[in-house]
Structure 1
Amino acid sequence: MDQGPTGPGRPNKPPGQVERGIGAWEWNLVCSSGKLKEMAQSIFMAGILIGGLVLGELSDRFGRKPILTCSYLLLAASGSGTAFSPTLSFYIVFRFLTGFSISGIVLSTVILNVEWVPTWMRAISSTAFGYCYTTGQFILSGLAYAIPQWRWLQLTVSVPYFIFSLLSWWIPESIRWMVLNGRFSKALKTLQHVAAFNGKKEEGEKLSLEELKFNLQKDISLAKIKYGTTDLFRIPILRHMTLCLSLAWFSTGFAYYSLAMGVEEFGVNLYILQIIFGGVDIPAKFITILSISYLGRHITQAIVLLLAGGAILALIFVPSDMQILRTALAVFGKGCLSGSFSCLFLYTSELYPTVVRQTGMGINNLWARVGSMLAPLVKITGEVKPFIPNVIYGTMALLGGSAAFFLPETLNRPLPETIEDVQNWRHQGKKRKQEPEAEKASQRIPLKPCESGRDPS
């Protein structure tokens, strides 16, 4: 492949070095220009951030399925365009569009999962989606080893999304979205097709428009009450949850990408380390699901972030020549942060009531993208002192874990429909705390002596 011109001020690529980066030698991204690589990564994260804002709104307006299909198509086109980028400027533009489209795919998939899968299956299905991400890491490591040229690798992982955009047409649209937008006939037909696919054709044929409207009457009435982003900060109980969750989401995205993007710093074979980084997600997410199912959501969320922060800070005190120990700490921290993401998606959707659930998910997911966008820029501070980035990453993870302790527990509780439901949670929690205190206080009341000459009864 073309390695770019050489000459004064443009160093030659070292003999025998295989090009596996984004054209570091091809576009002279070395020495002082090496910071442009971090900037390119931040712009990719900015695309994810803006995509979440724009495509989330479009998903509510035009439906989940069209946005999913268009996002697949945009990812295929922008990814293929990245492979043929003639300059760094074109590369950055295509990477922004790639991040933009990825956000649409993730958002639409999560929403469809929540709106189609039964409540008792949501934790399992969320974990299954997380394992798909892990599987992708394994596949990418193998492809990167087999295809050393970054342009061909980029093209190889982008072209399949043209096929995925076609396959997405067979995914059913959200019934709740169709009902809330007055498309009752289409919603009924979709339900009947799904019933037939599940081997319950007779039950599907018995459904009627009146029965559908009756079963979703509460959702229809709730949709008439309009809440916006400002309500998350105007209403005290929502403001409290939003601030704590935002810090947890930000610190998770911030610390996660600090480890994911720094794999080359641990001195271990890059491909093997990528496989290890992907493999740790398997036990990490499994343990997380067990923990949130038995210990609770906010305890699990706090523990995984505190452990991740401790692992990142511990890297400061481990010498660079102790590669195995540094790698073990990084892998442990990455596993905790993967578990944090799994917990946050479920926990956030359970904390917010139905009337603001989508808005709350969007705002908190935005903070995770802000964190992932800032993570590459913080690495530049390592030029002042090498330990500064890990101090910042680890401290933020500790703060996010501490914030989780101030959130209410949702284990074995029904999903809140209205803001009043969330406020009742708070009152019930206070009542439970006050009852044992009142009982103890009653036990401390001293017995009064009976007055002489008076009947004790």
Structure 2
Amino acid sequence: MDFDEILHHVDDSGRFQICMIILLNILALASSPHDFLENFTAAIPAHHCSVNLDNSRSEISTDINLTTEALMKVSIPMGPNQKPEQCRRFRYTQWQFLDSNISTSNITELETEPCLDGWTYDHSVFTSTIVTEWDLVCDFQSFKYYAQATSLAGHLVAGPLSGIFSDRFGRKPLLMYCSLAYGVLGTFCAFAPNFSVYCVLRFLLSASTSTIMINSLILVLEEASAQWYTTIIVLSGLFSSIGQGALGGLAYVISDWHLLQLAYALPFFIIFILFCWVPESARWLIITGKTDQAWKELQRIASFSGKKDIAQNLTTEDLRSKLKEDVNSTGKHLRIKDIIINPMIRKIVIWNSSLIFAELFSFVGLLLDVQMLGKNIFLTQILLGVIDMPSKSLTYFTLRNVKRRPLIAFLLFTTGSCITINIFISEEMYVLRLIIFILGKGSFAAFTCVSTAYSNELSPVALRKRLMSKNISKKEGQDFLETTEC
């Protein structure tokens, strides 16, 4: 008898699994907006040089009370789009422009200078962003993208490390401590004193959320039967999309970046408490030789699902006898050498790494500059969340009837084509850009579900059994790669 049979005997489709799926979906709802937050917390509002009509900049001294419009007219040059320049001002106040008969356009000979006194921002949409707080505009605008790059680096670093620590120390401890870390670090990030501290905290937050999302899905899948896998993955994806769409509405209500960052950090303190109740993965415990603890966790699952008689009759001796082969193979750990020397495992690792790279690369190209897609950033963000839902719902059926590799290839091709086409479309044609973007986003959403399912089918537990035997034949490996069952 293998572990799946024992889990089915204890309960693999009952009350406990439903609660775990609900917890996973709550987590997806809270975690998914993390990378999209900077579309709002780092939004660039309309701005222009601050103007100060003192005697040092004025050619004549005046006590005239000027309107804001008149002050702008004599102090800020007009750009090619007939809007005030964002990064330059007149070196000397141009009083002649107060005369309505003199045009302010096509005057290139007037001397200008950078914004020496700072910037004035339009606070009608966002009362505060990191851009307005630390003046990340004009020559400093690239710093906004440094923050995004730092945040993505957190995901890249956390990916392999979280897998190592999760296999070494278990799913539950990592989920608990990372949830607590996200709550604490997110709170600190909301009150970051400077841009450097903000970037460091965003790096750590990305590492935490990446670890949470990966290990929470693994934990739920390891404690459910295979027939639930597709449902769990698609539901998690749907709630991630709901979280992304809800961010647009919440950002509209909370226009201050400090409060918005804090609003997404505080729920993780509650999630930390919930994870204190969650049992450790019994499958992982058995593989690592912790049979006594696995027996206790299986008893908890049976009791919670209302099968107290099974919980009382299940003993560690039964568990050891039924899983003798698995218990005898424990105590070993996956090493990098085991991956390198085995051609089929090496092929699997390279394939999965390629999928992760394609997913992250597409993510950057699609989602981290929503301001370029339309005039209403809030409505655009809501739309991007809503458009995922039919796409991911359709994935539920395609996962059951279509092979993984051709489906992944098609979705990647569609996503890449949409990104490429948008490069050559003018920003003024925002409706067409948004339509193509939505098509690409839908393909990308479906791709994330399919790649998650495919990666899970090549995931650590089943893979490790083959690794530890160090006796995988080429035929076995090819059959393993060709699997289409979730």
* TM-score normalised over the length of structure 1: 0.74
Deviations 1:295-350 (A, max 9, x none): 11112111111111111122134333322221011111112112112111211222
Cα root mean square deviation, aligned: 2.8
Question: Any idea what the Cα deviations from partners look like across 1:370-406, whole Å, max 9, x if unmatched?
Answer: xxxxxxxxxxxxxxxxxxxxxxxxxxxxxxxxxxxxx
Residue in 1 aligned with 2:397?
290
Q: 1:20 to 1:212 in 2, by over 3 A?
A: farther
* Deviation string, structure 1 residues 93-126 (Cα, Å, up to 9, x no partner): 1111111211221122022022111111111111
2:235 to 113, 128, 137: 128
Question: 1: distance between equivalents of 2:437 and 2:445?
Answer: 12
1:144 equivalent in alignment to 2:195: no
Alpha-carbon distance change, 53 to 240 in structure 1, aligned in 2, over 3 angstroms: closer
- The answer (yes or no) to whether the contact 2:334–2:464 under 8 Å persists in 1 is no
CA contact (8 A) 1:75 1:102 kept: yes
Aligned equivalent of 2:411, options 304, 310, 318: 304
> How far apart are 1:272 and its partner, in Å?
0.9
Find out whether 1:343 has 2:446 as its counterpart: no
Deviation of residue 426 (structure 1)?
5.6
Residues 47 and 99 of structure 1 are in contact (CA less than 8 Å); yes or no, is this contact kept in structure 2?
yes
1:241 aligns with 2:348: yes
1:45 aligns with 2:152: yes
The aligned counterpart of 2:194 is: 87
Residues 79 and 94 in structure 1, CA contact (< 8 A), matched pair in contact too: yes
CA–CA distance in structure 1, aligned partners of residues 183 and 443 of structure 2: 31
Structure 1 alignment gaps of length 5 or more: 359-414, 431-457
Aligned to 2:95: none
Matches within 5 A, 1:400-415: none
Task: Decide whether aligned partners of structure 1 residues 206 and 247 sit closer, same or farther in structure 2, where only a CA change above 3 A counts.
Answer: same
CA gap 1:427/1:243 in 2 versus in 1, 3 angstroms: closer
State the match for 2:223 in structure 1: 116
Give the deviation of 1:267 after TM superposition: 2.2
Partner of 1:276: 383
- Between the aligned partners of 2:50 and 2:464, the Cα distance in structure 1 is 55
- The answer to whether the 8 Å contact 1:350/1:416 transfers is no
1:258 is matched with which residue: 353, 362, 365? 365
Alpha carbons 2:411, 2:444 under 8 Å: kept: yes
Change beyond 3 A, Cα 1:39–1:263: same
Counterpart amino acid of residue 291 in structure 1: T
Q: Which aligned pairs between 1:6-405 and structure 2 lie closer than 5 A? A: 9-19=116-126, 22-351=129-458, 354=461, 356=463
Taking the aligned partners of 1:96 and 1:166, their CA distance within structure 2 comes to 24
Asked whether the 8 Å contact 2:365–2:419 carries over to 1, the reply is no
Q: What is the DSSP-based 3-state SS (H/G/I as helix, E as strand, rest coil) of the residue aligned with 1:24? A: helix
- Cα distance in structure 1, aligned partners of 2:391 and 2:117: 44
Report if the CA contact (8 A) 1:222-1:355 is conserved.
no
- Secondary structure in 2 aligned to 1:319? coil
User: CA–CA distance in 1 between the matches of 2:415 and 2:326?
Assistant: 39
Change (3 A) 1:218 1:290: farther
Tell me which amino acid in the other structure corresponds to 2:402: L
Q: Tell me by how many angstroms 1:147 deviates.
A: 0.6
- Counterparts of 2:370 and 2:435, CA distance in 1: 12
**Residues 279 and 100 of structure 1, relative CA distance in 2, 3 Å threshold:** same
**Aligned in 2, Cα 1:429/1:202: closer, same or farther, shift over 3 Å?**
closer
1:423: how far off? 2.4
Give percent identity, aligned residues only.
30
State how far apart, in whole Å, the 2-side matches of 1:216 and 1:268 are: 60
Q: SS of the counterpart of 2:245?
A: helix
Question: What one-letter code is carried by the residue in structure 1 that aligns with 2:382?
Answer: I
For residues 146 and 291 of structure 1, the distance between their equivalents in structure 2, rounded to whole angstroms, comes to 37
- Structure 1 pair 165/255, CA: closer, same or farther in 2 (3 Å)? same
Q: Secondary structure at the match of 1:13?
A: strand
- 1:236-275 per-residue CA deviation (whole Å, 9 max, x = no partner) reads 2222333333222211210122111121111231111111
Q: Closer, same or farther in 2 for the Cα pair 1:93/1:355, shift >3 Å? A: same
Instruction: Give distance in 2, aligned partners of 1:238 and 1:17.
Output: 55
Higher helix fraction (1 or 2)? 1
Q: CA deviation at 1:152?
A: 0.9
Does the 8 Å contact 1:59/1:108 carry over to 2?
Answer: yes
Distance 1:228-1:6 versus aligned 2 partners, 3 A rule: farther
CA distance in 2, matches of 1:251, 1:21: 34
Say whether residues 1:424 and 2:472 are aligned partners: no
Supply the distance in 2 between the matched residues of 1:330 and 1:243 (Cα, whole angstroms).
29
More deviation, 221-230/261-270:
221-230
Query: Which digits, 9 at most, give the CA deviation of each residue in 1:153-207, with x for residues without a partner?
Result: 1111111111111111111111122233443333222211211211211122211
Decide which moves more: 347-356 or 189-198: 347-356
Q: Take 2:438 and 2:394, find their aligned partners in 1: how far apart are those partners? A: 15
The size of the alignment, in residue pairs, is 371
- Between the aligned partners of 1:419 and 1:336, the Cα distance in structure 2 is 38
Measured against aligned partners, the alpha-carbon deviations of 1:11-57 in whole angstroms (never above 9, x if no partner) come to: 32334443367421221100121111111111111122222333332
- Deviation of 1:416 after TM superposition, in Å, equals 10
Q: Tell me the distance in 1 between the aligned counterparts of 2:301 and 2:453.
A: 25
SS in 2 for 1:25: helix
Checking the alignment, whether the CA contact within 8 Å between 1:353 and 1:417 is kept in structure 2 is no
- Distance across 1 between alignment mates of 2:302 and 2:335: 35
Assess, with a 3 A threshold, how the Cα gap between structure 1 residues 20 and 273 changes in structure 2: closer, same or farther. farther
In 1, the alpha carbon distance for the partners of 2:203 and 2:301 equals: 36
TM-score (norm 2): 0.70
Cα deviation 1:206-255 (Å, max 9, x = unaligned): 11112212333343344355432343333222223333332222112101
**Larger radius of gyration, structure 1 or 2?**
2
